[in-house]
Amino acid sequence: MKILIFFLFICMLVSCKFNFSASDEKSTVESKDSPVKIKIENSGESSGNKTPDLKWEFVNKGTAEFDTPITEVILYANDKKIFSMEEKLGFNSLDKEGYSNYKIPQTALVAAYGWWAGWGMILYVMQNANTLDVYKIHLEEGYMDDKGEQVTPEFEPEKIKSINLN
């Protein structure tokens, strides 16, 4: 009887399906000592659609006429340089709390703000399936119109780069 119970226990153990849905990747793990395979499934997005770790870097390239700062704006995804541009502005990263002040979508992954002497731009990144789309919004200092009222120009976002994640 003990042998029959032991045999049933082993059969149940071998036929059990282990599902760890909190894992990030699909894989099959096989032990050298056991014929049991454990399948780990990802219940979320496929690994190709994961959001990369994005970081800005702002490199001061000196100054232009009238002491205008020249900055190289670099975007890294998982420590790999994926975007670069040079602008005559000083740049800083923008925290999510500031997105609403500049009409940046809350779903933007990262944003940066550049300004110098009355004009500037916002840069932000959106993920769209397997691409990262970099947008810019032109900024200008407000002015007084002929009626004496303050006017602040508003500009629409412009997609300046699509980066394939594959």
* pLDDT classification of 2: cutoffs 50, 70, 90: low
CA atoms within 13 A on the CB side of 42: 11
H or E stretch at 24: none
Segment 30-48 shows an average pLDDT of: 36
H or E stretch at 150: strand 150-151
Check: CB of residue 75 under 8 Å from CB of residue 83. Answer: yes
Please report the sign of the dihedral spanned by the C-alpha atoms of residue 139, residue 144, residue 146, residue 149: positive
Q: H helices then E strands: how many in the chain?
A: 1, 12
pLDDT at 5: 55
pTM for the model: 0.67
Segment 78-104 shows an average pLDDT of: 93
